[in-house]
A = this chain, B = another copy of it.
Amino acid sequence: MMEAIGRAARAAAADLAVAPARQRRQALEAAAGAVRADRRAILEANARDLAFGAERGLSAAMTDRLMLDEGRVGAIAAGLEAVAAQPDPLGAVIAEWEMPSGLHIERVRTPLGVIGVIYESRPNVTADAGALCLKSGNAVILRGGSESFHSSRALHFCLVAGLKAAGLPEAAIQLVPVRDRAAVSEMLRMVEHVDVIVPRGGRGLVGLVQAEARVPVFAHLEGICHVYVDRDADPEKARAVVLNAKTRRPGICGAAECLLVHRDVAATLGQRIVDDLIAAGVEVRAEGLRGSRPAEADDFGREFLDMIIAAKVVEDVDAAIAHIRAHGSGHTEAILTEDDATAARFFARLDSAILMRNASTQFADGGEFGMGAEIGIATGKLHARGPVGAEQLTSFKYLVTGNGTVRR
């Protein structure tokens, strides 16, 4: 079955690649309309998923991710419209030059082809991922979690309605209609039919995908984000940023998991920040600071995704850099400092996808980067890195024009 889905996706991708921007936009707008019109059916489907989840004893956090209400369904429709309204990523001439041979060379943006998205319980990923792939002219194969099976199906139905309304092939957005895990394994190996896989979910899912995939993967395994408070940090900025980086939403990949403090300010500003965190309900596992409890070695390099943070005193910015190189996951790190040279050193000597100065790691997000929407965040160095928006889902080709030009 996956073979047939893959072949249909490849064929649809060829049509999408030449579909004008207007037509892709129209499909997204029509899909948003369908979501609004079908909201009752979507909520009923979601109720079935919730009942199934309750039977299986789904955790409160998982249930919250799965749950849809009128507000969330409205947000899904608004999200589709927002993607529709974004500038078209395709067809743009990225670069253009003349050669002495007389050739005129253009580098133009093209879709990647077929994208596979494998995700867990959030049903809105069905709409978000489907929309971003369509916007960027790619066919997509969606494989949602079994927990959100009916909800995803109802949302997929609306996306297909949008495709039909715009005269685009239905196979441009396909949802794998089965609950078995074998479909995932097959998808990960379909190098003929799938150009890239984007896993959305926890470490378990992403690790499995990275280990098994023969198709290239855009992903991050973990977001072990560090915040380093330098000797030359502004105390008020540092306190506000660290608190926000940890507590605004502790469960997202951009949440801070480790606080590093320069030894010269450890007893003063550092301790104050730790006290702030504890007062906010965060468990601080500290080394060289008075925390909620002492840190164990394996608290460093750990993704808590919870109201817990590791904290440590370091010698200087180079020691912070060394610690991050040893324990980081290449996602996002922040420095708090008023010293330009120290900030420049931190920026130059670390190679995480995102480096921040005097700003919260919670900004690691496609929307906050102005990309409109994101399909995920990548920590690999090839092709896409950081937040992956519509533009990162494209490739390019060279268009070369001569006048009977031959090579000597």
- On A, residues with C-beta under 8 Å from B are 14, 17-18, 97, 99, 101, 103, 105, 110, 112-113, 195-196, 216, 234, 236-238, 240-241, 243-244, 248, 325, 343, 347-349, 351-360, 362-363, 368-370, 381-383, 385-386, 395-408
Known: A97-B370, A381-B112, A381-B113. A399 touches B347 (CB 8 A): yes
Q: Are B369 and A385 in contact (CB under 8 A)?
A: no
- Which residue of the partner chain, among B113, B248, B359, contacts A402 with CB atoms under 8 Å? B359
Give the residue name and chain of the B residue nearest to A106 (CB).
Answer: B347
Q: Are B407 and A244 in contact (CB under 8 A)?
A: yes
- Which residue of the partner chain, among B348, B360, B398, B406, contacts A405 with CB atoms under 8 Å? B360
The CB with the most chain B CB atoms within 10 A, among A355, A405, A408, is that of A405
Give every chain B residue within 8 A of A234 (Cβ-Cβ).
Answer: 404
Give the residue name and chain of the B residue nearest to A401 (CB).
Answer: B357
20 additional A-B residue pairs with CB within 8 Å, beyond A359-B404, A362-B406: A18-B349, A99-B370, A103-B368, A113-B351, A195-B381, A216-B382, A241-B402, A241-B404, A343-B401, A347-B399, A353-B398, A356-B400, A356-B402, A358-B401, A358-B402, A360-B405, A360-B406, A363-B402, A382-B382, A385-B398
- What is the bound-complex CA distance between A169 and B236, given in angstroms? 42
Give every chain B residue within 8 A of A386 (Cβ-Cβ).
Answer: 397-398
CB distance from A183 to the nearest CB of B (A): 23
- Which residue of the partner chain, among B110, B112, B369, B397, contacts A382 with CB atoms under 8 Å? B112
- What is the bound-complex CA distance between A118 and B238, given in angstroms? 48
Give every chain B residue within 8 A of A195 (Cβ-Cβ).
Answer: 381-382
The CB with the most chain B CB atoms within 10 A, among A110, A195, A234, A382, is that of A382
Give the residue name and chain of the B residue nearest to A382 (CB).
Answer: B383
CB distance from A107 to the nearest CB of B (A): 8
Q: Are A354 and B397 in contact (CB under 8 A)?
A: yes
Q: Are B17 and A400 in contact (CB under 8 A)?
A: no
Give the residue name and chain of the B residue nearest to A195 (CB).
Answer: B381
Give every chain B residue within 8 A of A248 (Cβ-Cβ).
Answer: 406-408
- What is the bound-complex CA distance between A368 and B406, given in angstroms? 11
Give every chain B residue within 8 A of A395 (Cβ-Cβ).
Answer: 381-382, 385
Give every chain B residue within 8 A of A402 (Cβ-Cβ).
Answer: 241, 356-360, 363
Give every chain B residue within 8 A of A406 (Cβ-Cβ).
Answer: 240-241, 243-244, 248, 359-360, 362
Known: A382-B195, A403-B237, A407-B244. A398 touches B355 (CB 8 A): yes
Give the residue name and chain of the B residue nearest to A362 (CB).
Answer: B407
Give every chain B residue within 8 A of A347 (Cβ-Cβ).
Answer: 399
Q: Are A397 and B113 in contact (CB under 8 A)?
A: no
Q: Are A353 and B397 in contact (CB under 8 A)?
A: yes
CB distance from A292 to the nearest CB of B (A): 23
CB distance from A393 to the nearest CB of B (A): 11
CB distance from A112 to the nearest CB of B (A): 5
- What is the bound-complex CA distance between A354 and B357, given in angstroms? 41
Give the residue name and chain of the B residue nearest to A394 (CB).
Answer: B381
Give every chain B residue within 8 A of A399 (Cβ-Cβ).
Answer: 347, 355, 357
- What is the bound-complex CA distance between A396 and B402, given in angstroms? 33
Known: A99-B368, A99-B370, A396-B385. A405 touches B355 (CB 8 A): no
Give the residue name and chain of the B residue nearest to A102 (CB).
Answer: B359
Q: Are B237 and A369 in contact (CB under 8 A)?
A: no
Known: A241-B406, A359-B103, A368-B103. A397 touches B351 (CB 8 A): yes
Q: Are B113 and A401 in contact (CB under 8 A)?
A: no
- What is the bound-complex CA distance between A244 and B398, given in angstroms? 20
CB distance from A387 to the nearest CB of B (A): 8
- What is the bound-complex CA distance between A234 and B278, given in angstroms? 78
